[in-house]
Structure 1
Amino acid sequence: MANKRFSLCFLFLLALLPSQISAADESEGREFVLTLDHSNFSQTVSNHNFIVVEFYAPWCGHCMKLAPEYEKAASILSSHDPPIPLAKVDASAENNKELANGFEVQGFPTIKILRNGGTLVQDYKGPREADGIVDYVKKQSGPATIEIKSADDASAFTSENKVVVVGVFPKFSGEEFENFTALAEKLRSEYDFAHTLDAKHLSRGESSVTGPVVRLFKPFDELFVDFQDFHVEALEKFVEESSVPIVTVFNNDPNNHPFVSKFFDNPHIKAMMFINLTADTADSFKSKYHETAEQYRQHGISFLLGDVEASKGAFQYFGLKEDQVPLIVIQDNDGKKFLKTNLEPDHIATWLEAYKDGNIEPYRKSEPIPEVNNEPVKVVVAESLQDIVFNSGKNVLLEFYAPWCGHCKKLAPTLDEVAVSYQSNPDVIIAKLDATANDIPRETFEVQGYPTLYFRSASGKLTQYDGNRTKEDIIDFIEKNRDKPDQQEQVKDEL
């Protein structure tokens, strides 16, 4: 679950700011993209050895932006020999929810590559514009690993700013080669794989080896690394760990975005330092940070260096301000955050040491507590969550929402009506919390989409509301689950 949260976080960082919702009709001009739902999905997928499926929501701004590019790519790929199908599923439709959950869809758009009739599922990790989609999908539909027969082949394969994996073998058979091919098939959506009989073709590394050996090329740190354990699990671990820089750089260079994605996808604790990379002090910060990263990466911590100019979305996500720069924020796998602002280079190692020793208090992102909170639906922020929801002794219905969410906007007037119905009842509170601007205690509330509603009775019973979103159904739920004043007194007497 933590990995999924970080993946979503990364998408947010690249987007920088949430897309605005429009009322554009997403169905126009969709003659090449196959429309799938719960009734025809399994049958359609089982008929294809290779198919790409987008899980989308009609109100999602990113999906709207992708739609014409995806359609254009589908039209081009329909002429491929053989044709390569692209499909879409409205994952927000109620009758498709179970289907989307089966593919762990937690954000939009989510794109999956399905192979062998759907028996092998991989994440799509390619571009989001038509030509890039076409090139990526064509490559994904071909062999998982290609043969390098010359130095020119090797140069063309390793020249780009990305991680590539090459197996050197004395022959293209045997257990080692089969395991390498199996790894290539498993990880092909994330890395490019090749194999060769002659290491002399390769531009880096020992040229006299005859193998079997796996050589991973990368555009950072030591530039290449060899590995000779051909168990598939060991190979996979080697590739995953070696493909993440000691310090991942997040700036406006799109070549760095795949490494930022890897940073947020890995299971480690995340340390992120944000500075002005053009400042006179930048080199000093980078040097000290790199030294600290080398020291602590063996302790399960990954490190990212962000340029403040390129990190507007990150600052909004973490609730940071530019006058706090230079700063470090750490997010652990429980979602807790730790913050050091107005940093000096010599603070980096000592603060990391204090964090590792448990001597740093967690940081909580919160909007300011409203000075006036007299609307029917009360505003809750992270700093007031404890007082209003847990310590008020009231029955509280709390909505977790996102300002850009279409479903939340649709629910808002209904919640207003519910709140008005309870205005004369001091024992019931209807409240809302902007989950994009406030940290949520993940150990208490599981919020994977918007809106999410929880009800906490006056006596402390917490229940997630999954019913219909009508005024009558919500009120009926509250009446069945709330504690009446006489029941509260009975609970107190029993205590």
Structure 2
Amino acid sequence: MKSLIFINLALVICFVLLPNFVEPKLTKLTSKNYERYLGEKSTKPCFILLTSDKCEYCDKMEMLFTQLQNEMPQMEFLSINIVKELATTLKITNEPKQPSYYIGQDGMFSQYLIPGSPDLIIEDFKELIKKDKVLVVDKKNRIEFNKEEKTKLLIYQPNFEPNNQGIAGIIARHYQFELVVAVTTTKAIAKGYNLINKDQAVLIKNGEKNMYFKEKLVLPQFKEWVDKNKNSIVTKIDNLMFKRMAFNTFEAQLIFISNPNQKTKEIKAIKRVGNWLEKLKKEDQTPKTISNLHIYWIDKSLESDSMNFLSLKENENLPLLLIWNMNDNINFRYDGTVFTVKKIKEWILKWSAGQIDKYIKSSEPPIDNDGPITILTAKTFDEIVLKSDDFWLVEFMADWCSHCKKLQPIYEELAEWAQDIDGLRIGQMNGGENDIKDEYDIKGFPSLLWFGKNKQKFERFNKARELSAFKEFILERLPSKKEL
């Protein structure tokens, strides 16, 4: 009897408390708590999720990062609806249609934008946090540090504590995709870099003159100095740094991709082109397109997702030189077989004058394309879809997309059903292997578009990805509905 009473009492308590249970969410960043979390006296680095009323995936990302904050107590996790406030402070001019992210502390913040599924973003973010440390240069790793070809920032701090990295840690976090930030506590090593007094710093650029900071190490002035002097003529980056660069850079950039054992002749030519660009930037008559151009060098094959960003195929012949603009997703490829300074200069000037056609990535169409689903490519899309009199439902997908894999059996069943309807076609394009027309505004995968008789107009499928919903959507748009 007593046990029954306790069970009933427990049930009553559950029902009383259940309506008041609220799923934990991220702390909202506001103008009132901004100084606490992002001001100069903030104690932890902050991760900020930017959301908006137009954002499709923001709620899901907030839920995932709410779970993540329990795993990472060393960081503060915040969210902000950019429509409401702080847009000016964070320098945001456009309302995001997808979740976007910032990392900040001590009055400094840097944008962190990586595309992909929520799971991939979380995985990438965890990798980012792992790398978020200051390198301590000592006798054991000094030779390896010297061999590092990326731009390096070395600070002499005899009393540096790894668990309390101070200004060095803040700078490392802010410039994580641009610089290798390091400190040395050893006087002899510091002296080897002409660092005599504590808190002095040097920017080391391979093949260029070192730059020294010998004033009082105060964050605003130090950051200003780093901003002014950090860029090399040619910046060497790896895959992770490429992602940071790509999604924080909104001007066209020159990207050189080489083999690991690339001949020095091509590399020297690229560096000489870099010197030429630097001289051009100082001239008043230089076009803005060239003034904003910087060279990034990757000395190995890119990962598949990075290749997709650049509209490159897995089996590309290296070396490659291209001008790429993330903002417009436009790729201009150097088509010369010889990498000479003269020919590269001519190509850049032609590009600046609008005389170079953009590169279009396209997979090869299948030899047998008579199945229920018509496979489309960038080269065949216009001919097969836009010049057709048929009605089309087209899925834009990617091999890495988990939602696309889940949809595939449903889409195949839909295509089988559609074969019984005259004038109806079901198509599919791999967005990882093909460039998609800008006017279709494909922001994620899978995306489905309906093309009626007027192919200049299209309609987005935004209903549940279920067979019944697809059938209902299609039948509502056909001239004569059929119950099939």
Q: Fold-level match, TM-score > 0.5?
A: yes
Correspondence 1:454 to 2:449: yes
d(CA) in 2 for partners of 1:160, 1:38: 53
2:271 is matched with which residue?
290
SS in 1 for 2:438: coil
d(CA) in 2 for partners of 1:249, 1:182: 22
Correspondence 1:305 to 2:287: no
Q: Is the 8 A contact 1:368 1:381 kept in 2?
A: yes
Q: Deviations over 1:354-384 (max 9, x none)?
A: 2222211111110112332111111111111
Correspondence 1:337 to 2:320: no
2:99 is matched with which residue?
101
Cα shift at 1:258: 5.9
1:187 is matched with which residue?
174
2:11 is matched with which residue?
none
1:264 is matched with which residue?
246
Cα shift at 1:435: 0.9
Q: Which structure's relative contact order is higher, taking Cα pairs within 8 Å and 6+ residues apart?
A: 1
d(CA) in 2 for partners of 1:391, 1:286: 46
Question: Bigger shift: 450-459 or 184-193?
Answer: 184-193
Matched to 1:288, the amino acid is A
When residues 38 and 189 of structure 1 are mapped into structure 2, their CA distance, relative to the original with a 3 A threshold, is farther
Matched to 1:293, the amino acid is G
Matched to 1:365, the amino acid is K
Q: Is the 8 A contact 1:263 1:302 kept in 2?
A: no
Matched to 2:419, the amino acid is Q
Q: Is the 8 A contact 1:379 1:431 kept in 2?
A: yes
1:164 is matched with which residue?
153
Matched to 2:270, the amino acid is Y
Correspondence 1:381 to 2:367: no
SS in 1 for 2:99: helix
SS in 2 for 1:337: strand
SS in 1 for 2:235: strand
Aligned mate of 1:414, from 410, 417, 420: 410
SS in 2 for 1:109: helix
Cα shift at 1:418: 1.8
Question: Which ranges in structure 2 are unaligned for 5 or more consecutive residues?
Answer: 1-20, 38-42, 50-66, 78-95, 102-112, 158-166, 282-290
d(CA) in 1 for partners of 2:317, 2:146: 39
Q: Is the 8 A contact 1:183 1:235 kept in 2?
A: no
Q: Deviations over 1:35-76 (max 9, x none)?
A: xx9921337999x97599899xxxxxxxxxxxxxx99x96xx
Q: Is the 8 A contact 1:400 1:447 kept in 2?
A: no
d(CA) in 1 for partners of 2:420, 2:154: 67
Cα shift at 1:339: 1.8
Q: Is the 8 A contact 1:458 1:483 kept in 2?
A: no
d(CA) in 1 for partners of 2:147, 2:317: 36
Correspondence 1:247 to 2:223: no
Q: Is the 8 A contact 1:112 1:124 kept in 2?
A: yes
1:440 is matched with which residue?
436
When residues 203 and 371 of structure 1 are mapped into structure 2, their CA distance, relative to the original with a 3 A threshold, is same
> Superposition pairs for residues 60-99 of structure 1, below 5 Å?
84=74
Q: Is the 8 A contact 1:248 1:263 kept in 2?
A: no
Cα shift at 1:467: 1.2
Q: Is the 8 A contact 1:401 1:408 kept in 2?
A: yes
Cα shift at 1:303: 1.6
1:110 is matched with which residue?
121
d(CA) in 2 for partners of 1:436, 1:403: 7
SS in 2 for 1:301: coil
Q: Is the 8 A contact 1:400 1:452 kept in 2?
A: yes
SS in 1 for 2:440: coil
d(CA) in 2 for partners of 1:184, 1:402: 36
Aligned mate of 2:206, from 191, 216, 220: 220
Q: Is the 8 A contact 1:367 1:381 kept in 2?
A: yes
Cα shift at 1:99: 13
d(CA) in 2 for partners of 1:439, 1:454: 16
Question: Which ranges in structure 1 are unaligned for 5 or more consecutive residues?
Answer: 1-36, 56-69, 78-82, 88-97, 114-122, 128-132, 141-145, 169-179, 251-255, 487-495
When residues 194 and 275 of structure 1 are mapped into structure 2, their CA distance, relative to the original with a 3 A threshold, is closer
d(CA) in 2 for partners of 1:437, 1:206: 50
Q: Deviations over 1:141-176 (max 9, x none)?
A: xxxxx9xxxx99xx99x98957437699xxxxxxxx
When residues 293 and 184 of structure 1 are mapped into structure 2, their CA distance, relative to the original with a 3 A threshold, is closer
Cα shift at 1:414: 1.2
Matched to 2:276, the amino acid is Q
Matched to 1:249, the amino acid is K
> Superposition pairs for residues 123-162 of structure 1, below 5 Å?
126=128, 133=130, 161=148
Q: Deviations over 1:338-363 (max 9, x none)?
A: 22345213222222222222211111
Q: Is the 8 A contact 2:252 2:323 kept in 1?
A: yes
Q: Deviations over 1:10-33 (max 9, x none)?
A: xxxxxxxxxxxxxxxxxxxxxxxx
When residues 306 and 385 of structure 1 are mapped into structure 2, their CA distance, relative to the original with a 3 A threshold, is same
Q: Is the 8 A contact 2:372 2:419 kept in 1?
A: yes
1:42 is matched with which residue?
26
d(CA) in 2 for partners of 1:38, 1:303: 50
Aligned-residue sequence identity (percent) comes to 17
1:92 is matched with which residue?
none
Cα shift at 1:312: 6.7
SS in 2 for 1:399: strand
